[in-house]
Amino acid sequence: MRIYLPATWPMLERMVSTGTFEPLGGTAFALTPKLRESYVAGDDEELEYAAMSEAARASLRLLSVEIGLGETSTPVRRVVVAADTDDVTLRPDLDDGAVRVTGAIGMEKIAAVHVDLPEAEHAVGEAAGAIDKADLGDLDAEFLVGEAEDHDLAWYAPSEVAFLVQLG
C-alpha cells in the first residue's frame, strides 16, 4: 500500500542522516476503503492524490508547531514522504484516508519525496500560521491555506533527497 507521511524539512534532514523516516505519531494517509467511499467518482490516481493532499495539509500543521516554537533556520515548505508498506492500521477515528504505521520506515520502502519549491515558502508560511483557524472554519484562514495548496509539490526520487537537503 502506498502511504503518504506528513513531514517537515528537519524531519527530511533526519531521514537523510539516519536512513530511516520516523513518522510523527505514526500518522500517515493512504487510499483507504473509507476514502474511496467518500468520493462519488475518481480513479485510483485521483484518490491517491487526495490522500497525498491530506498529508500535505498535515505537513502544514507540523510546520505551524515548528514556527510556533521559533524554528526559523529551515525552509518553510510542505514535505510529504511517499512509502510502500502493508504494515498499516486503518484509523476510522480520524480523516477518511488516515492510517497508522508502527516504527520507522526504512529508505528501501521510500518511493518518493514531495516538497514545495522555494517560491511557495511565503504562501506556505502564511498558511501554517492560519491552519488552526482554517480547521475551525475561518474563511479568511481557509483562503490562505488554499493559496499554499495552489502550489504543486515537486517530486524527488529517494536517490535525490540527500542532494535536495544539501541545497536547502
Q: Which residue has the cell 477518511?
A: 96
Q: How does pLDDT run across 110-145, given as a tens digit for each residue? A: 999 999 999 999 999 999 999 999 999 999 999 999
Residue 167 lies inside a defined structural domain of this protein: no
Q: How does pLDDT run across 25-55, given as a tens digit for each residue? A: 899 999 987 888 878 777 888 889 999 999 9
CB-CB contact of 128 with 87 (8 Å): no
State how many domains the chain has.
1
Residue 168 lies inside a defined structural domain of this protein: no
Query: Model-level pTM?
Result: 0.93
Residue 8 lies inside a defined structural domain of this protein: yes
Q: What is the mean pLDDT of residues 144-160?
A: 96
* Nearest alpha-carbon partner for 4 in 123, 118, 95: 95
Whether pLDDT at 94 is above 80: no
* Nearest alpha-carbon partner for 91 in 82, 100, 102: 100
Q: Which domain holds residue 95?
A: 2-160
Residue 35 lies inside a defined structural domain of this protein: yes
Please measure the distance between the N-terminal and C-terminal CA atoms of the chain and give it in whole angstroms. 30
